[in-house]
Amino acid sequence: MSAEAYGAQRPLPEREENLRETLGGHMQTVDRANRTVRVTPAPAPRQRVPFPFSAIVAQEEMKNALILSAIDATIGGVLIFGDRGTGKSTAIRALAALLPRMRAIVGCPYGCEPGRPAASCEHCQRLSLEKGRRGQAESHLVAVPVVDLPLGATEDRVVGALDLERALARGEKAFQPGLLAKAHRGFLYIDEVNLLEDHLVDVLLDVAASGENVVEREGLSIRHPARFVLVGSGNPEEGELRPQLLDRFGLSVDVETPTDLETRIEVVRRRDAFDRDPEAFADAWRGRDAGIRRRISAARKRIGSMTTSEAALRRATELCIALGTDGLRGELTLIRAARALAAYQGEDTVEEEHVRVVAPMALRHRLRRSPLDDSRATARVERAIGEVFGS
């Protein structure tokens, strides 16, 4: 932000205790003597320009992981762990600008996809029954939701709860969808994911596994689809992540502060330029961001018709065996990530090389862990890659 926002004189609130905001963000003045409430529309919030994705210096693996999960949601999200001040949350917030818009049914509170009644909410299923076979429900293009799960969020807002405003004002029993509903078909971002409270982690694990949010509280009985890509970031010094949650992330990336002075200078230089004039800086990088967006779109179209070479499959299996990863999840993620990478590079076939590139991020958090050996997980994957690929 520029200094100008600070320089602007703002009038002091006339009577602070009387100025409140309603749930919708409207300013509301409560006059206690006359028992009246005056509501005025809220001022539009200032839009902050996000730091452009393409302007992020180095951190290639982190950027790749985010792009891959944007191409194929079934990869299952990204966990970014690392030092403070490495641009973890910058990269994730910048991702939103890279996502091609998606088609959603008009009026659906969950943004359901048209043409897939089986995966839709009750509202859209009813709609498709009414319309019958004759026509599709009306749909429009919307931005893919990237929903922030802020620290300190309460459970009722995460899963959804009784709409208090409508209940109190009109005596209606209505469901106020939570963040999980908002994130449907999009991304749910948790910064400082290792600080998330346990009972919220439980909810997340449950919903992420089933793709459906079931709310049974306050006399409500609601279920709605909630399929989202989980993106988390955190600093290992603040504490570890529960293994069950760790397992939910398809890819994991360790970021470190660049030690090379040139790179560090470049980071500071770009950030300084951005801080001085965010709009101009974003303008300068808009073309490159658009390029990545086009490639993501193209990769999504291509991914359905990709073939996977026998050798790539074999290497993936060998790697998982060599590392002793539990279950098939690692293998599946590995292949999916390799396929997304191949699609992003414009290839038609997934080759060994693709598997090799994505192996560290797909597998490093799936190793059977020995405590304190954490930092060496990457090295173990590298070693296994060396053995399997015979380099």
Partner 1 sequence: MNPDPARSDPAGADLAGLALAVLAVAPEAAGGIWLRAQAGPDRDRWLAALRSHAVPGVPFRRMPAGIAESRLIGGLDLAATLASGLPVTERGLLAEADGGYLVISMAERLDPWLASLVAATAETGELHVERDGVTQTLPAHFAMVALDEGIDDEAPPAILTERLGLVLDLAHARFGDLPFSFETVASARARLPLVATSARIIGELCAAAAGFGLASLRPSLQAVGVARALAALHGRLDVADEDAILAAALVLAPRAVQWPSRQEQQEEAPPPPPPDAETPPPEQPPQDQSGDPPDDVMSQSALAALPAGLLADLKARAASGRQRSAGKAGAREKNARRGRAVGVKPGDPRTGARLGLIDTLRAAAPWQKLRRGASFGDGTIAVRREDFRIVRRRARRRTTTLFIVDASGSSALQRLGEAKGAVQLLLAECYVRRDEVALITFRGRVAEMVLPPTRALARAARALAGLAGGGGTPLATAIDTARQVAEGIMRSGRTPVLVFMTDARANIGRDGQPGRERAMADARQAARELAALCQTTILIDTANKPGEAAAVLADAMEARYLPLPYAAPELVVHAVSQERPAPRAAHRA
Residues 44-63, one symbol each (x = binds partner 1 by CB under 8 A, - = not), give -xx-x---------------
**3-state secondary structure (DSSP) of residue 113:** coil
Decide whether 119 or 167 has the Cβ nearer to partner 1: 167
Decide whether 85 or 211 has the Cβ nearer to partner 1: 85
Contact 248, 231 (CB under 8 A): no
d(CA 361, CA 179): 27
Chain-centroid distance of CA 376 in Å reads 27
Binder among 38, 101, 131, 173 for partner 1 (CB under 8 A): 173
Residue 329 among the catalytic residues: yes
Contact 159, 215 (CB under 8 A): yes
Q: Is 265 in the site for partner 1 (CB under 8 A)?
A: yes
Angle at 308 between CA 306 and CA 312, to 5 degrees: 150
What is the smallest separation between the CB atom of 36 and partner 1, expressed in angstroms?
Answer: 9
Q: What is the torsional sign of CA 269, 267, 270, 81? A: negative
Binder among 138, 197, 206, 216 for partner 1 (CB under 8 A): 197
Under rule CB under 8 A, which residues in 325-364 are in contact with partner 1? Answer: none
Q: Is 41 in the site for partner 1 (CB under 8 A)?
A: no
What is the smallest separation between the CB atom of 374 and partner 1, expressed in angstroms?
Answer: 5
> Which residues lie below 8 Å from residue 111, measured CB to CB, with a gap of 6+?
102, 104, 105, 142, 145, 184, 185, 186
DSSP 117: G
Identity (one letter) of the amino acid at 376?
R
DSSP readout, 133-182?
A: TT-PPPEEEEPPPEEE--TT--HHHHHEEE-HHHHHHH----EEE-HHHH
Among the listed residues 264, 293, 300, 329, the single catalytic one is 329
**End-to-end alpha-carbon separation of the chain, Å?**
49
What is the smallest separation between the CB atom of 138 and partner 1, expressed in angstroms?
Answer: 26
Identity (one letter) of the amino acid at 193?
V
Under rule CB under 8 A, which residues in 16-35 are in contact with partner 1? Answer: 20-23, 25, 28, 30, 32, 35
d(CA 177, CA 161): 7
> Which residues lie below 8 Å from residue 386, measured CB to CB, with a gap of 6+?
none
Binder among 135, 261, 301, 368 for partner 1 (CB under 8 A): 261
Chain-centroid distance of CA 236 in Å reads 20
Binder among 192, 347, 352, 382 for partner 1 (CB under 8 A): 192
What is the smallest separation between the CB atom of 390 and partner 1, expressed in angstroms?
Answer: 32
Q: Is 379 in the site for partner 1 (CB under 8 A)?
A: no
Decide whether 282 or 388 has the Cβ nearer to partner 1: 282
Under rule CB under 8 A, which residues in 138-167 are in contact with partner 1? Answer: 148-158, 161-165, 167
The candidate with the shortest Cα–Cα distance to 98, out of 265, 234, 280, 299, is 299
Under rule CB under 8 A, which residues in 60-119 are in contact with partner 1? Answer: 83-86, 89, 93
What is the smallest separation between the CB atom of 91 and partner 1, expressed in angstroms?
Answer: 13
Piece of 120-128, 168-176, 292-300, 377-385 that binds partner 1 (CB under 8 A)? 168-176
Binder among 101, 131, 199, 314 for partner 1 (CB under 8 A): 199
Under rule CB under 8 A, which residues in 219-258 are in contact with partner 1? Answer: 219, 235-240, 242-243, 257-258
Q: Is 267 in the site for partner 1 (CB under 8 A)?
A: yes
What is the smallest separation between the CB atom of 346 and partner 1, expressed in angstroms?
Answer: 34
Torsion, Cα 246 247 250 251, to 10 degrees, reads 40
Decide whether 92 or 388 has the Cβ nearer to partner 1: 92
Tokens of 282: 């974003």
What is the smallest separation between the CB atom of 130 and partner 1, expressed in angstroms?
Answer: 29
Under rule CB under 8 A, which residues in 268-297 are in contact with partner 1? Answer: 268-269, 271-272, 275-277
Under rule CB under 8 A, which residues in 200-219 are in contact with partner 1? Answer: 218-219
Catalogue the active-site residues: 329
